[in-house]
């Protein structure tokens, strides 16, 4: 039998009896069985503005609406509503953004993405940024059959780097030499005048221009005896007369660092050769024990996001302790619009992971093709840690007894409807047995 016919039979039975085999009257109500959007065949188009703003245009979106009057199924096609589900853009260095998709009827859906894309990754004065931005970029949307990969051209890389740099307050422009700048350096500095091993520290640098001319493309590269610090860069950019700019660099030394102190040398560069002399400073290193830090990633244990109403879906979750201490009393709680389900995990040592399955029940009254959000939260008892993740599943089959209970008369009526559907060739013997087993399980 066709999937459309099977769907009509099952929905009719779930709604209360043998309606699947009764000729509808002219006054039968019309029910919407399914609304399924799709994108036309065609390319995903990415365009960049001069400021690095990214415009992503998807193929035209239209949706198929399936309705049923009695046992007659009708299909119509119409434009998708506005807005669509969010678009996901994953940058080459792992930064992810989710942006709304505008879908004006008669036009192709469009999303606009602006920076910053993570100030630690993109710096217009650091040549490594150009290789980071050059791609590939991944663009995802629930209606795309597969993720779209975009590789920017050299000109697009230039726009991205400069646009993102501008959003961070770094002016990479170069001007003609007039009067020379006079650059005064204050730093490097660090909180409490010490660097932490196994914990976060923030380096700071201030440069003031007391001269009559501007400095251009000014930056300072860190040279250090500690590998985790060597090669870091403070990017100042253009520095006008009378202007002072402070930059901060978050750093985290490994807990097993062997040095008791770190020598830092700042080597400056300026586009017209007016860089100040190198400056240096030694900082003591203090070893600290970091707290646990949890991350969670989940997916259905079956590997499929298609579920049935009333089904118990086992969500397999990987919990990672990214911190420097063991996580105690770890538990995962999952919900799908109903009662929460939870599972406990043994303590997770630092830098280790654990896998647990959480049984989450799909609401028995969920509609066919309904998208349900699954929320999963992991907690840790000792320091009140919390991390969460979210994914969507799609309901593909209704329950024949949505209430979960049937008396004998209700069971026999639904069973007769199944038998008639089987006799008419709308159900196979295997499908009949599976649905009959569900009905028997609902008998009080």
Q: At 397, is the pLDDT very low, low, confident or very high (cuts 50, 70, 90)?
A: low
Q: Which residues of 211-245 are buried (b: 16+ CB within 10 A; e: fewer)?
A: bebbbbbbbbbbbbebeebeebbbbbbbbeeeeeb
| pLDDT confidence bin for 247, thresholds 50/70/90 | very high
pLDDT tens digits for 17-44? Answer: 544 444 444 567 888 777 788 899 889 9
| Distance of alpha carbon 442 from the chain centroid | 39
- Whether the full predicted model's pTM is greater than 0.85, yes or no, is no
Q: Which of 9-13, 147-151, 299-303, 431-435 has the lowest mean pLDDT?
A: 9-13
CA distance 101 to 115: 17
Whose CA is closest to 181, among 242, 269, 233, 247?
A: 242
The Cα–Cα gap between 56 and 108 comes to 10
- Residues forming a β-bridge with 380: 385
> pLDDT digit string (tens) for 183-197?
999 989 998 899 988
**Quick one: pLDDT band at residue 263, thresholds 50, 70, 90?**
very high
Contact (Cβ atoms closer than 8 angstroms) between residue 341 and residue 354: no
Q: Strand order in 215-224's β-sheet?
A: 195-197, 279-287, 261-269, 215-224, 233-239
Interatomic CA distance for residues 361 and 404, integer angstroms: 13
> How many C-beta atoms lie closer than 10 Å to residue 87's C-beta?
24
């Amino acid at each position: 039998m066709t999937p459309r016919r099977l769907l009509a039979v099952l929905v009719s039975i779930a709604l209360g009896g043998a309606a699947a085999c009764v000729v509808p009257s002219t006054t039968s109500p019309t029910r919407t069985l399914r609304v399924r959007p799709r994108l036309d065949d065609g390319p995903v188009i990415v365009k960049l503005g001069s400021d690095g703003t990214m415009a992503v245009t998807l193929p035209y979106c239209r949706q198929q609406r399936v309705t049923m009057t009695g046992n007659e199924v009708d299909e119509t096609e119409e434009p998708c509503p506005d807005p669509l589900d969010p678009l996901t853009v994953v940058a080459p260095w792992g930064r992810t953004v989710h942006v709304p998709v505008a879908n004006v009827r008669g036009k192709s859906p469009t999303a606009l993405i602006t920076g910053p894309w993570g100030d630690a990754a993109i710096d217009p004065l650091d040549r490594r940024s150009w290789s980071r931005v050059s791609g590939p970029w991944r663009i995802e949307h629930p209606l795309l059959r597969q993720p779209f990969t975009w590789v920017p051209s050299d000109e697009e890389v230039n726009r991205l780097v400069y646009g993102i740099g501008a959003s961070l307050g770094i002016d990479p422009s170069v001007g003609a030499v007039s009067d020379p700048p006079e650059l005064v350096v204050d730093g490097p500095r660090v909180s409490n005048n010490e660097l932490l091993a196994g914990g976060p520290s923030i380096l700071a640098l201030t440069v003031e221009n007391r001269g009559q001319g501007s400095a251009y493309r000014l930056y300072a590269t860190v040279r250090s005896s500690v590998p985790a610090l060597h090669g870091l860069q403070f990017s100042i950019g253009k520095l006008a007369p009378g202007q002072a700019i402070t930059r901060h660099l978050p750093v985290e030394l490994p807990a097993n660092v062997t040095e008791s102190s770190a020598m830092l040398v700042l080597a400056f560069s300026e586009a017209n050769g007016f860089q100040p002399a190198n400056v240096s400073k030694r900082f003591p290193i203090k070893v600290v024990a970091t707290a646990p830090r949890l991350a969670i990633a989940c997916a259905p244990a079956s590997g499929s996001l298609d579920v049935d109403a009333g089904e118990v879906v086992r969500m397999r979750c990987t919990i990672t302790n990214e911190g420097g201490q063991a996580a105690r009393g770890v538990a995962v709680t999952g919900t799908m619009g109903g009662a929460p389900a939870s599972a406990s995990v043994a303590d997770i040592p630092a830098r280790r992971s654990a896998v647990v399955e959480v049984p989450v029940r799909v609401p028995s009254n969920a509609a066919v093709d309904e998208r349900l959000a699954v929320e999963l939260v992991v907690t840790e008892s000792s320091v009140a840690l919390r991390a969460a993740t979210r994914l969507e599943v799609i309901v593909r089959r209704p329950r024949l007894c949505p209430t979960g209970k049937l008396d004998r008369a209700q069971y026999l009526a639904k069973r007769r409807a199944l038998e008639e559907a089987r006799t008419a060739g709308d159900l196979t013997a295997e499908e009949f047995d599976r649905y009959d087993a569900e009905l028997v399980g609902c008998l009080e």
